[in-house]
Amino acid sequence: MLRVLGVLVGLLVVAGTLGVTPRADGATTVKVCGSGYGHGVGLAQYGAYGRAQAGQSYAKIVKAYYQGISLERYLANPFVRVLLKEKGLDGTYDVVVASGSTARMVNLATGGTVALRPGTYRVRYLSAQRLYQLTNVSSGEQIGSYTGPIHFEPVSGVPLSYGGKRYRGKLRAEVSNSKFYLINWLRMETYLQGVVPTEMPSSWAPEALKSQAVAARSYAHATRGGDLFDFYADTRDQVYGGASSETAATNKAVADTAGVVAVYDGKPITAYFHSSDGGYTEDSAYVFGPVAYLKAIRDVDSQGRSFETLVNSPWTHWSGTLNPDGSVQLNIGSITGVRVLERSPSGRATKVEVTGTAGKKTITGEYNIRNALKTNGLERADGSRYPAGTLPSARVSFGSECG
């Protein structure tokens, strides 16, 4: 989690002459190369790391990636709701109260509570009776059936667990629209403790971790407010690993920036971020639509060096070949060539023509380009291999442009 008028780049697709190598079966394999990882909009995590290593404060880092913003401290620490899992009505959830801990189940329809000792508690929804049934799996005891929804909350000891992970706050089981949900209710700042270490390595420089905390907090304040839950626990919003993912370094970054939010025109910003910009971020207009504070910047120091090179980002360059048969949805047979028709000023392809053994197809939009074309695997700048799959970035070239 973007696109100005493109630069026309012509790539001839003649096999054996301009970057198209023959395959053993007589078909061709198209070279592909590029830089960056992700949509390119907003804060680049490797760039933030490089800026921190260069001595920049988190405030300077955040203001570099989000133009025209100010930083304000929000005193409110509201509850947020994170969707952990969604199942059909016949699904079940197992909530674990750890040894040495205690908890309780609360029936939200009546306010009644049930004390829970250590063990595994399974909740299922009885559709015919419209009741939530609770069983102590560890002992085999049927606890009871309740009108619900119900939630589990810790009383003493360590946080509750689900799916092998510990989660602070409350876990709510709730049925809505013929789906059975498990939702984590907790305070905003506590939620961020489970986000920052899953989005950025805890070993990175403190100011980089703080910039990630501010970006994550800003995004959360700007986007919360769904009917049943506020956030997904994955890349549809921000990756959230609960208490199990917390580290001392990332918790400190959250605490040191407590309440600090990036604000534009009096409102928290939707602070998109991504892994690597390859030296140039993208204008949101090319990905999410135009946003005043999400303009493209050259992510380089005073000597013109990409901040990402200062920390040896593996995404400063990558190369490999396209999988000629990996884009069956295009319905053009095996790919024999790709020609970039338009680019954004940041160098990302916004329109390409793909030639195959059974026709041609034009693909428009960075997201569509990245997801339509598959690679056979890539070699990154540090010599490591990246597995076969979609293009890491739209900052990409094909054929002879890759040398």
140 by Cβ neighbours in 10 Å (0-12 / 13-18 / 19+) ranks as: exposed
For residues 262 and 218, is the Cβ–Cβ distance under 8 A?
A: yes
Residue 11's pLDDT is 27
Q: How confident is the model over 278-309, as pLDDT tens digits?
A: 999 999 999 999 999 999 999 999 999 999 99
Residue 9's pLDDT is 28
Mean pLDDT of 271-275: 98
Is it the case that residue 15 has pLDDT exceeding 60?
Answer: no
Q: How confident is the model over 334-349, as pLDDT tens digits?
A: 999 999 999 999 999 9
How do strand 273-274 and strand 43-44 relate by DSSP bridges? parallel
- The C-alpha atoms of residue 250 and residue 195 are separated, in whole angstroms, by 9
329 by Cβ neighbours in 10 Å (0-12 / 13-18 / 19+) ranks as: exposed
Cβ contacts of 350-354, under 8 Å, gap ≥ 24: 350/3, 350/6, 350/286, 350/394, 351/6, 352/398, 354/327, 354/330
Name beta bridge partners: 102: 156
Average model confidence (pLDDT) for the chain? Answer: 93
Mean pLDDT of 270-277: 98
Mean pLDDT of 214-236: 97
Residue 28's pLDDT is 64
Q: Break the chain into its structural domains and give their ranges.
A: 1-42+272-403, 43-77+189-271, 89-177
- The C-alpha atoms of residue 356 and residue 254 are separated, in whole angstroms, by 50
Instruction: Place 23 in a pLDDT band, splitting at 50, 70 and 90.
Output: very low
Identify whether 197 is preceded by a cis peptide bond (ω within 30 of 0).
no
Residue 403's pLDDT is 80
Q: What pTM value is reported for the model? A: 0.91
- The C-alpha atoms of residue 204 and residue 257 are separated, in whole angstroms, by 16
Query: 354: which 2 tokens?
Result: 């793909």
Residue 372's pLDDT is 97
- The C-alpha atoms of residue 340 and residue 108 are separated, in whole angstroms, by 57
Instruction: Place 25 in a pLDDT band, splitting at 50, 70 and 90.
Output: very low
Positive or negative, the CA dihedral 300, 301, 304, 308 is negative
Is it the case that residue 235 has pLDDT exceeding 80?
Answer: yes
Is it the case that residue 17 has pLDDT exceeding 60?
Answer: no
- Indicate the DSSP class of residue 259: T
The amino acid at residue 332 is I
Q: How confident is the model over 81-140, as pLDDT tens digits?
A: 999 999 999 999 999 999 999 999 999 999 999 999 999 999 999 999 999 999 999 999
Mean pLDDT of 266-286: 98
For residues 257 and 213, is the Cβ–Cβ distance under 8 A?
A: yes
Residue 29's pLDDT is 87
